[in-house]
Amino acid sequence: GGALGTRVLREAAAPPPPGTAAAAETVPAAGGSGSLAGFGGESLPCHGAHQAGIVTAPAAHVVHSAFALRAATDAAALRRMFRVLTDDVEGLTSGNGPLADPEVELAARPARLTVTVGVGPELVSRTGAARPAWLAPLPAFERDHLGSGFDGGDLLVTLQADDPLPIAHAMRMIGRDLAGFAEPLWTQRGFRQARGAEADGTTMRNLMGQVDGTVNPSPADGEDFDDLVWLGPEAGWLAGGSAFVLRRIRMELATWDAVDRPGREQTIGRRLSDGSPLSAPSETATESTPADFSATDERGLSRIPMAAHIRRAHSTDPAERVFRRAANYDEGGESGLLFGCYQRDPLRQFVPIQRRLDEADLLNEWVTHVGSAVFAILPGFERGTLLGDPLFE
Ligand code: HEM
């Protein structure tokens, strides 16, 4: 609570407090140390209609790793690859460790580790499965500065956990097991605040200081969410999967420093203190107050500027919305946002939104898209079946 409290609204369910009925979602890890104090022993189920790590409450750390297939990796090899990968996902997320894990102790406390796997166009064509039109590089945007080594890829492995240690371990195990099939292409590391630094479910802050993630579809919206995010039966091998867009967006924090507080708030259209919209008075508005894009001040000027980020990003067509899941990055002297979003069809959802931003968004003066990738997120799998199986049916 309080002026600085940015309680959340529309995030995916936060980890439930222990002792509640819903706590069954998180189970003690199999490594045997689940009874130790701390959240390291919590494990999330990797099985289900959808892969874990998409609507799961965001973890403190995320690593997106893309791989390029070796020339010899044909359909038969890909089947072997998914078998190994499935065993890794089950072993690493449960706390048991994958087969032949030389450091099984590092797997014992997964801290809600999830592994989410996506495939690029080249992998799909090697299996002979149908490639959806959107599974291709995105159309170019005027302001893009891609080409710094974070574009595309044949296979995506996204690891998330509340502790960087199980992530590093999982990266090494998966990298080792994939080595015969693919080579590393790029790795992007992101973070939110450490678990415990804020109440669970608090909307994250990005490195420009803004409350980021307020207006976002929620799995609690039921069918509406399903239609936006999950592919249906008409998608064949992708039924139950999703389309993932990952944009690496650099922030120019040195010049952003020169902008005063009102200027910063107008750039977005929301207040820095609590993320409330500028259309409503600060005394009564909260983060959850809906933005009123028609509100004007005494002089008749729009309270939310015409080129404010939320006005340009806002979709009047409800079917155009995306499910955002971002993280901060700060490495090699560069800061920014790993902007990730899930949807059914990026050409119908991400692209029109990004076109409006690219054309005119006050934020453009301080942000540049430097990496871009699109992956088909595989449908979920059950015990006894393999991740990626539907690709070969
Ligand atoms: C809203 C920051 C890039 C789509 C917001 C908000 C902030 C923000 C602070 C207001 C709070 C909220 O509702 O989350 C940023 C920053 C970016 C960035 C710093 C780049 C570094 C993008 C991109 C897209 C996007 C690339 C999609 C193409 C949206 C949408 C909203 C939003 C859809 C909600 C608009 C509404 O109120 O309906 N963003 N954003 N943002 N942003 Fe961004």
Is the C-beta atom of 291 inside 6 A of ligand 1?
A: yes
Is the C-beta atom of 310 inside 6 A of ligand 1?
A: yes
Task: Please report the pLDDT score of residue 32 as a whole number.
Answer: 53
> How far apart (Å, rounded) are the C-alpha atoms in residues 137 and 142?
15
Task: Please report the pLDDT score of residue 38 as a whole number.
Answer: 87
Residue 303 Cα to ligand 1 midpoint, Å, equals 18
- Predicted ipTM beyond 0.90: yes
In this structure, is the dihedral angle defined by the CA atoms of residues 382, 387, 390 and 393, taken in order, positive or negative?
negative
Q: Assign residue 32 a region: left if phi > 0, alpha if psi is -120 to 50, beta otherwise?
A: left
Is the C-beta atom of 55 inside 6 A of ligand 1?
A: no
Residues of the chain with pLDDT below 50 are 1-24, 34
Is the C-beta atom of 339 inside 6 A of ligand 1?
A: yes
Is the C-beta atom of 213 inside 6 A of ligand 1?
A: yes
Residues 47-75: b if buried by 16+ CB within 10 A, e if exposed = eeebbbbbbbbbbbbbbbbbbbbeeebee
> How far apart (Å, rounded) are the C-alpha atoms in residues 374 and 341?
10
Residue 155 Cα to ligand 1 midpoint, Å, equals 27
> How far apart (Å, rounded) are the C-alpha atoms in residues 128 and 125?
5
Ligand 1 nearest-atom number relative to CA 337: 21
Q: Which of 324, 369, 372 to mutate to test the pocket of ligand 1 (most atoms within 8 A of CB)?
A: 324
Is the C-beta atom of 178 inside 6 A of ligand 1?
A: no
Residue keyed to tokens 């199986």: 389
Is the C-beta atom of 206 inside 6 A of ligand 1?
A: yes
Active site residues: 212
Task: Please report the pLDDT score of residue 267 as a whole number.
Answer: 98
77, containing H or E segment: helix 75-94
Task: Please report the pLDDT score of residue 100 as a whole number.
Answer: 87
Task: Please report the pLDDT score of residue 37 as a whole number.
Answer: 79
> How far apart (Å, rounded) are the C-alpha atoms in residues 282 and 276?
7
Ligand 1 nearest-atom number relative to CA 212: 14
Q: Which residues pair with 161 in a beta bridge?
A: 61
**What is the pTM assigned to this prediction?**
0.93
Residue 339 Cα to ligand 1 midpoint, Å, equals 9
Residue 55 Cα to ligand 1 midpoint, Å, equals 18
> How far apart (Å, rounded) are the C-alpha atoms in residues 302 and 150?
38
Residue 50: strand, helix, or coil: strand
